[in-house]
Chains A and B, each alone.
Chain A
């Protein structure tokens, strides 16, 4: 099956510093990846859609200058939390979209394969 990795799995940083999180699709190419944030006992909240070769699109209420997303290749998307503050502490999860098929009678199921998540703690 499709495998998505994230690095690091956890990070602790001081307030005001920037943190970069990597998301990689290991055995397939993903033109679209998604970044989510999850607070304890809550559901996943979509932050942004990362498209290879173009700018990310952000959900309403998500600051694009604070959460920088780069999707430089078909297997890598990065999320940089700039000038992190304690309220940014959360569990960040990426996912890669099941690539669409065509011409063979099959259609994409839009299944997403999720990374294991990155626990960010800002002191």
Chain B
């Protein structure tokens, strides 16, 4: 069955450093992959989408890479700030517009 794995352990980093989150998937060949941010008690917020024919995508301090050979996406936040603290979810598209989500990685940026 299709499986998405994110690092379940929380990631703690110092302000100003680059945070790198990992998303691995198996038994799947998605046309694209998405990253969302979720704050406690809130719904997810869309951040970035990367297509299978794109190796890298950037948006301000965010960068996403997509390696379809490794079946892996990396999500980077450069010059991280305490306001970046949240849970980050990766999601893959199933048929009919349905998304499968990873379990999320909790990021904590310390001042």
Residues of A within 8 A of B (CB): 4, 6, 32, 34, 42-44, 46, 49, 57, 91, 93, 95, 97, 108-117, 119
B-chain residues with CB within 8 Å of residue A49 when the two chains form the complex: 96-98
**A37–B99 Cα gap in the complex (Å)?**
13
Interface residues on B, range: 20 to 34
Task: Given A111-B34, A114-B44, A116-B43, answer yes or no on A46-B99 (Cβ-Cβ < 8 Å).
Answer: yes
Which chain B residue shows the least CB distance to A112? B99
A-B residue pairs in contact (CB < 8 Å), sample of 18: A34-B98, A43-B104, A46-B98, A46-B99, A46-B100, A91-B41, A93-B43, A108-B97, A109-B49, A110-B93, A111-B34, A112-B46, A112-B99, A113-B46, A114-B46, A115-B43, A117-B42, A117-B43
Tell whether A43 pairs with B99 under 8 Å between CB atoms, given A109-B32, A112-B46, A117-B41. Answer: no
A119/B103 in contact, CB under 8 A? no
Chain A residues within an 8 Å CB radius of B100: 46
CA distance A49 to B45 in the complex (A): 19
Which of chain A's residues have a CB closer than 8 A to the CB of B102? 43
Within the assembled complex, what's the spacing in Å between the Cα atoms of A32 and B45? Answer: 18
Nearest CB to that of A32 among chain B residues? B97
Among residues of B, the one whose C-beta sits closest to the C-beta of A97 is: B97
- Closest Cβ neighbor of A9 among chain B residues: B41
Asked whether B101 lies within 8 Å of A44 as measured between CB atoms, the reply is: yes
A123 to chain B, nearest CB (A): 20
**A95 CA to B91 CA, complexed, in Å:** 14
Given the interface pairs A43-B89, A43-B104, the reply to whether A114 lies near B96 with Cβ below 8 Å is no
Among B45, B49, B96, B102, which residue has the most Cβ atoms of chain A within 10 A?
B96
